[in-house]
């Protein structure tokens, strides 16, 4: 227990360093962009009322998102991505792993004490490339040490017993002493421009082509690979399910679950806002369920409903229900009592007060709740699909991750983000259209 | 017996901590039909409570209220209410707001439209029928509130500091409007204010209330409202009696406030 806590603290410490490092890089880029930007705008006076303000620091209204900064930030993310993954879209990236042909010379000593040199021709090919031809090498050579040929994938390494084809190579006392003229042993490897050559305990050579600094596509593929994968998914789908079919299934679940949540949550919230008994009756369950994250319900939902649609929709229903209930309840409680009094004085009946005053008056709150609920539902559906689904955005990325198809995972994550963002924008537009009086009462 | 009768009304609030507040104690008033009465008093003397009882939003703990002989037991369209602010329906445009009462009563749309147009003219908002509430200034919003109340043709109009949030110039125009409406429609109007000048201008009868317990302190009959109809209110304020009356009442309220302060300080 104590050890675990200690480990936790240690890894937290490293995380702080790591996060601070990443922030520092990103902020340094930001500072650079800002500097360049300020060179261009230095002599241009701002326009509009805001530019005449002398107090801007601390005046929230004078802080407006600088759109150039936003664009630069997004570009910076892509550039960093490209640099770190060795994208071929960029003129400069971190040093990439070595690929292509290289060769080195080894020196061997035979039991008789004679020395001779042989060449090793190495062909390093891209990871995953198949049917790579062997490089050409002069086989033979003039002495007892014969040339060798080896094929290895980038970032991978290979053990090679160069002495196997040498004359007398299998006799005791035959050993390799130098690589490229430098002495080699099991604890002193030789590095040259393209690769590192190590020696194993048994005297074999261990060839490691230079791995460079870029990330391997298995961890993070370069942008162009993700882009290509996107178009491929768009055309062919993955595991017999189209990309948009997956997205469609996620969306339809959200829409149905959210719809059910509204259908029951809004009337429930109204009942709680209008009636003491109902408020008392539902208060405990609402207050209890509110802090339970929907994800915590996934196991229970799977036990109850299996992995079919019903389970996922029930989950989304539960995710939306409490949010909508609370929003509707807040909407009713938030009605200015003088509006209700005015309506009664104008002769409205209870039913008319409900439909003409309380309902429209609570729409802004309901919309705020709906936006939150939509966001939660979208997150929940993806998580639920990760656990159990046959189709859906979450299902696609979890299936791809099992085959280490990181590019599909990233396509999925980007799509999930974009769709979530678009849902929020749509909700905001609907809000502006349907409750134009929001915030202006 | 067609007026508003307030018969020995008392209102005692029980506080959660067990204490009691006598917001109103033994109020007796007869308000005749067509009378314009303003109510003045330091804050906390029970003005809003009294108005809420008249409107039927609160049941008094003692006594009763009757309009034209009918016991008041709840809100009704015969007693219209104009609030200070925020009582308009933002989700409806100006015309819909004004037509709210008749449309709730199921009056046909043609009649409502005619009524709304007439009222838009009366309150000076001819071209604003299609505007939304949040597009209007505070003064215009109060005009809408007044028109909405009039659309129902109530017997009594109750106003709780309707002009309190307006700037001085707008307020003066609205005061003239209230006087004009009073004269033209002949409605009984009870208006709460905390401006002494407004109380003098908009009250044939002026009630000064005193706090703890809330009660009627002094009652005046004043000529200024009658003089102000259709006239320039600034001239009315030049009337020989206006200044002295204003000072007298100001002093009275000032003394009450001092007394409250003194009492809370010694308490
Ligand atoms: N619902 C209530 N519960 C308890 N006390 C109240 C309530 N409403 C008003 N009061 C008290 O009654 C008194 C009169 O209030 P109010 O009528 O609002 O005064 P005014 O409108 O003259 O400022 C005040 O002391 C106030 O605190
Ligand atoms: Mg008040």
Closest CA relative to residue B34, chosen from B4, B73, B71, B76: B4
pLDDT tens sequence across B37-85: 999 988 888 899 999 999 999 999 988 898 888 888 889 888 999 998 8
Q: Are B144 and B74 in contact (CB under 8 A)?
A: no
Pick the residue whose CA is nearest to atom 2 on ligand 1.
B13
Pick the residue whose CA is nearest to atom 16 on ligand 1.
B46
pLDDT tens sequence across B138-196: 889 989 999 999 998 899 999 998 888 888 888 888 888 888 888 888 889 999 998 88
The strand pairing partners of A199, in sequence order, are: A205
Is B185's Cβ below 8 Å from some Cβ in A? no
- With a 6 Å cutoff on the Cβ, whether B72 touches ligand 1 is no
Closest CA relative to residue A349, chosen from B76, B158, B97: B76
Is A440's Cβ below 8 Å from some Cβ in B? yes
In the block, tokens 């406030």 appear at: B257
On chain A, the residues whose CB falls within 8 A of the CB of B83 are 338, 341-342
Task: Compute the distance between CA of residue B189 and CA of residue B179 in angstroms, rounded to an integer.
Answer: 10
pLDDT tens sequence across B204-242: 999 999 888 888 888 888 888 777 787 787 887 787 887
- With a 6 Å cutoff on the Cβ, whether B89 touches ligand 1 is no
**How high is the mean pLDDT of chain B?**
87
Superfamily for B4-78+157-265? Answer: P-loop containing nucleotide triphosphate hydrolases (3.40.50.300)
Tokens of A139: 């086989």
Is B130's Cβ below 8 Å from some Cβ in A? no
Report whether pLDDT(B267) > 60: no
Superfamily for A223-434? Answer: MetI-like (1.10.3720.10)
Tokens of A261: 């949540």
pLDDT tens sequence across A361-403: 999 999 999 999 999 999 999 999 988 888 899 999 999 999 9
Closest CA relative to residue A69, chosen from A35, A46, A42: A35
- With a 6 Å cutoff on the Cβ, whether B188 touches ligand 1 is no
Model confidence at B263, pLDDT cuts 50, 70, 90, reads low
Contact A338 B105 (CB under 8 A): no
Model confidence at B1, pLDDT cuts 50, 70, 90, reads very low
Please identify, by atom number, the ligand 1 atom nearest to the C-alpha of residue B214: 14
For chain A, the structural domain boundaries read 64-96, 100-209, 223-434
pLDDT for A45 equals 64
User: What does the pLDDT profile of chain A (441 residues) look like in tens digits?
Assistant: 789 999 999 999 999 999 999 999 999 999 999 999 988 887 666 666 667 777 778 877 777 888 999 999 999 999 999 999 988 888 888 888 888 899 999 998 888 888 888 889 999 998 878 888 888 776 556 788 888 889 999 888 999 888 888 888 788 888 888 999 899 988 889 998 889 999 988 888 999 999 888 888 888 999 999 999 999 999 998 888 889 999 999 999 999 999 999 999 999 999 999 999 999 999 999 999 989 999 899 888 888 888 788 889 999 999 999 999 999 999 999 888 999 999 999 999 999 999 999 999 999 999 999 999 999 999 999 999 988 888 899 999 999 999 999 999 999 999 999 999 999 999 999 999 988 888 775
Q: Longest Cα pair distance anywhere in chain B, in angstroms?
A: 63
Q: Are A168 and A142 in contact (CB under 8 A)?
A: no
Closest CA relative to residue A341, chosen from B182, B48, B40: B48
Q: Report, as an integer, the average pLDDT of B13-21.
A: 88
For chain B, the structural domain boundaries read 4-78+157-265, 85-153
Contact A441 B90 (CB under 8 A): yes
Strand order in A158-160's β-sheet? Answer: A158-160, A205-209, A195-199, A190-191
Task: Compute the distance between CA of residue A191 and CA of residue A197 in angstroms, rounded to an integer.
Answer: 6
């Amino acid at each position: 227990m104590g050890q675990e806590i200690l480990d936790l603290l240690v890894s937290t410490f490293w995380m702080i360093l790591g996060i601070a490092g990443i922030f520092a890089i990103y902020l340094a880029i930001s500072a650079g962009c800002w500097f360049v930007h300020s060179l261009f705008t230095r002599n241009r006076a701002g326009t509009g009322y805001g530019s005449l303000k002398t107090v801007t620091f601390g005046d929230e209204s004078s802080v407006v998102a600088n759109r150039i900064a936003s664009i630069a930030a997004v570009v910076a993310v892509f550039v960093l991505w490209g640099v770190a993954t060795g994208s071929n879209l960029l003129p400069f990236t971190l040093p990439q792993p070595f690929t292509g042909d290289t060769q080195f010379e080894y020196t061997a000593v035979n039991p008789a004490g004679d020395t001779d040199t042989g060449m090793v021709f190495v062909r390093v090919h891209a990871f995953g490339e198949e049917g790579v031809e062997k490089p050409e090498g002069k086989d033979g050579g003039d002495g007892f040490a014969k040339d060798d040929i080896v094929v290895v994938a980038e970032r991978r390494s290979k053990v090679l017993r160069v002495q196997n084809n040498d004359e007398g190579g299998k006799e005791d006392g035959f050993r390799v002493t130098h690589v490229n003229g430098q002495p080699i042993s099991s604890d002193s490897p030789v590095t040259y421009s393209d690769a590192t050559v190590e020696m194993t305990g048994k005297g074999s050579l261990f060839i490691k082509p230079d791995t460079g600094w870029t990330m391997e596509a298995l961890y993070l593929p370069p942008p162009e690979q993700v882009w290509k994968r996107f178009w491929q998914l768009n055309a062919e789908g993955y595991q017999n399910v189209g990309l948009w079919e997956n997205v469609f299934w996620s969306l339809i679940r959200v829409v149905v679950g959210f719809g059910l949540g509204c259908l029951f949550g809004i009337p429930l919230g109204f009942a709680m806002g209008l009636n003491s008994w109902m408020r008392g009756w539902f208060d405990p369950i609402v207050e209890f369920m509110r802090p339970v994250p929907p994800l915590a319900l996934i196991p229970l939902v799977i036990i109850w409903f299996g992995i079919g649609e019903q389970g996922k929709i029930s989950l989304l229903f539960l995710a939306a229900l409490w949010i909508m209930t609370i929003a509707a309840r807040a909407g009713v409680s938030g009605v200015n009592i003088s509006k209700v009094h005015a309506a009664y004085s104008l002769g409205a009946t209870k039913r008319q007060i409900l439909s003409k005053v309380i309902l429209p008056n609570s729409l802004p709150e309901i919309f705020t709740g709906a936006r939150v609920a939509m966001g939660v539902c979208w997150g929940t559906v993806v998580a639920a699909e990760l656990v159990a689904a046959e189709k859906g955005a979450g299902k696609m990325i979890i299936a791809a991750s099992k085959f280490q198809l990181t590019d599909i995972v990233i396509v999925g994550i980007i799509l999930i983000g974009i769709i979530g963002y678009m849902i929020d924008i749509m909700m905001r537009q609907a809000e502006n259209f349907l409750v134009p009086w929001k915030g202006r009462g | 017996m067609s007026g508003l009768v307030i018969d020995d009304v008392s209102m005692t609030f029980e506080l959660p901590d067990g204490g009691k507040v006598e917001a109103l104690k033994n109020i007796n008033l007869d308000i005749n039909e067509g009378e314009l009465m303003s109510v003045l008093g330091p804050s906390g003397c029970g003005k809003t409570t009294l108005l809420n009882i008249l409107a039927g939003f609160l049941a008094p703990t003692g006594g009763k209220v009757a309009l034209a002989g009918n016991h008041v037991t709840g809100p009704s369209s015969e007693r219209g209410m104009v609030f200070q602010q925020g009582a308009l329906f933002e989700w409806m445009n100006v015309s819909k707001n004004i037509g709210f009462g008749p449309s709730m009563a199921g009056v046909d749309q043609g009649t409502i439209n005619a009524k709304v147009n007439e009222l838009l003219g009366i309150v000076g908002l001819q071209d604003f029928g299609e505007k939304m509430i949040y597009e209007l200034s505070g003064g215009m919003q109060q005009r809408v509130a007044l028109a909405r109340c009039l659309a129902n043709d109530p017997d009594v109009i109750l106003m709780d500091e309707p002009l309190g949030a307006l700037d001085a110039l707008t307020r003066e125009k609205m005061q003239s409007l209230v006087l004009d409406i009073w004269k033209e429609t002949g409605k009984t109007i009870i208006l709460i204010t905390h401006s002494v000048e407004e109380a003098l201008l908009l009250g044939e009868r002026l009630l000064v209330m005193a706090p703890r317990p809330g009660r009627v302190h002094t009652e005046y009959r004043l000529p200024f409202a009658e003089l102000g109809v259709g006239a320039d209110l600034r001239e009315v304020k030049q009337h020989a009696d206006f200044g002295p009356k204003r000072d007298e009442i100001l002093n009275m309220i000032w003394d009450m406030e001092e007394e409250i302060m003194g009492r809370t300080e010694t308490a």
